[in-house]
Amino acid sequence: MSESLTDRISTLSQIELFSYLKPEELEVAAGLFEEETFLKGKSVCKAGDDGDTFFVVLSGELEVWGGPDESLLLARLGPGSPVGEMSLLMGDKRSASLTASQRTVLLVMDKDHFNSLLLQNNKILEYFSKIICQRLAATSSGKSVGTNTLVLSVMGNPGLKGTSLVSCALARLLKEFTGQEVLLVKVQSQIGKGRSDAPALLTEQIEMDNDRIRSLVKPNETGMAELNVGIRTDTSLSSYGEGFATLVLKLRENFAYIVFDLVEDLAALTGSIGEFTDVLVSIVDEPTTEVSITEARSFETYELINLFNAGSKPIPISSCEPFVLPEDASLANGAILGSPLSPGAVPLHRLTRKVLGQTVGIALGGGAAFGLAHLGVLKVLEENQIPIDMVVGCSMGSMVGIAYAAGFSISDMISKAHEMGKRSKMILGIDFSLSAPGVLAGNRLRELYTPLLGSRRDFRDLIKPCRTVATDIESGERVDIGTGSLEDAYRASIAVPVVISPIKREGRVLVDGGVSDPVPAEVGRDMGADICIAVNVVPPLKKGVEMALSRYVRRLGKFNPLSYFGADQDFPNLFDITMNSMQTLQHELGNFKAISADVRINPDLSEFTWIEYYRSQEIIDRGIEATERILPAIKKKVGLDA
């Protein structure tokens, strides 16, 4: 193998598109490319050109330009980005123009080789299908990306507290997450209120030049750049829209993010807020059911319930939206940055990432003992500071997901897994059923797992949004569970048909979620995740791996209660037939359900069986290995690859 091909293989292996390929497939793919260099300002292709070439950005950056006169910057594409696949797949002309914004090296593949690549691995085609949907959605929005300062305004309904706390937190977290210049603008209802040097920029007839504004920006007690603006309360607040817009126009030249702290008695500014803001964070006492400002204006609105306000509706802190700020002491002592996992910090961190379009959800698939690999996945993500804002789990994934959303540390969860994996514990978990439609009643599983949750017994007790999935066995529908008893939620999700008895909940007979959606990435999307990681732990069946119970019950001969009286004793028992059938179903269906995810993790667990909980460390290690392999792609997705 030539040195250049080896280097190219190494590069391609770090790109998400090619991360699913086996080494031999990756070598073939690398050999289909040629390298081409484009200097800064050089045109790569024009809108209307024939789509006969596929590119991958190896280094540098491409700008994607569109619109009637090609003046609208649609995207910036850095290393690892695939380009040109849409026109190739659809046989269309180029829909946009590509220009190198700096010296850029591209991997180039012609149409014939591109088609050959698709035929060699169907996962490549699945990936492209997802990318095409995302590109169409972004282009149809008609918005330019990456060119404007983002302006946020925090405003409370009359009489509600929390605007200053939330605005300060957002400003600090935006700076921490992005590393860019952030300005906090505190708008005061009376000139001179607060700091004595607060200017009346909006009411005095002064020239708002950059030097003047910069001289008024001062660091606050946390080191954040802050500008105090006074307004006259004897003037109609709705008339300030133009003044704010002019101020923002100047501030955009100096700051990447601007956060306005609008005190509660300035609610009349709502009428003109669209003149100067992109995102409105509204402090409310309960979710609004009225037509939101967002539906009438061109900016996003997020609602936040501050439970410090007396009379606020006590909805779960783990609610996806509205965001809920708990009565947490960490908020009062400014520990938002230092304690990201505290109940008070969690919703503020998630809100900030939502504003940036970077919230991360993880879908943990089902798989009995295979599901222990989830702990290895979470361990690597946590060690590499990959945030998980929301979690959805199926079957064993639901048990891991609930514990994680409850705030348990990964190390504690791993210790509990080792303890639960002891053979003695496994035996204690077996409770044969004579009165329910399942070999096992499942009550012993409750007795073993529920005490591990301590006082957390309801979804209201979680600190992160969490869902579990089950299946209505009478309709075949997936059932998403995100309220009520945690015990009922995971118990329904693990009820493998025939093996573990189903349960009744809200008039439905529920069985294992793996029957309908073994890797519920779609649920993560529905919860609001901007970036979704899907973990399918169920491997394909591997010939030569002895079935789970066969080795234990074969010696029982004709007295084996799971086999057949008088039959050939080499015939698989009832449990093995059921579980192997489920394994085949969940592996294939899980891969299909995970297509909508941005990143997919598939630990190699083919040498293990469903019930080998006592091999917990080995299974966890496989989760670690699989996540480390695809970690560069994950970091790229969440913006941590710099």
512 a catalytic residue: yes
Tokens 């007690």, residue located: 221
User: How many other C-beta atoms lie within 10 A of the C-beta of residue 23?
Assistant: 8
* Residue 59 CA, distance from chain mean position: 26
Contact 626, 601 (CB under 8 A): yes
395 a catalytic residue: yes
Contact 368, 395 (CB under 8 A): yes
Pairing state between β 498-500 and 438-440 = parallel
DSSP string, 315-375: --TT-SSSEEE---HHHHTT-TTT-TTSTTHHHHHHHHHHHTT--EEEEE---GGGGGHHH
DSSP string, 531-565: EEEEE--PPPP-TTS--TTHHHHGGGGGG-TTS-T
User: How many other C-beta atoms lie within 10 A of the C-beta of residue 505?
Assistant: 18
* Residue 196 CA, distance from chain mean position: 44
- CA-CA distance, 323 to 355, in Å (whole number)? 12
Backbone phi and psi for residue 393, each to the nearest 5 degrees, phi listed first = -135, 155
- CA-CA distance, 14 to 218, in Å (whole number)? 43
Instruction: Provide the 3-class DSSP secondary structure of residue 83.
Output: strand
Backbone phi and psi for residue 107, each to the nearest 5 degrees, phi listed first = -90, 125
Can you count the helices (H) and strands (E) in the chain? 20, 26
Strand intervals (E) in 354-434: 360-364, 390-394
Helices within 143-292 (DSSP H only): 163-178, 210-216, 241-251
Residues 6+ away with beta carbon under 8 Å from 163: 154, 155, 156, 261, 262, 263, 264, 283
- CA-CA distance, 108 to 116, in Å (whole number)? 14
Backbone phi and psi for residue 163, each to the nearest 5 degrees, phi listed first = -65, -45
User: Annotated catalytic residue: which of 153, 272, 395, 516?
Assistant: 395
User: Annotated catalytic residue: which of 389, 461, 512, 517?
Assistant: 512
Cite the active site residues: 395, 512
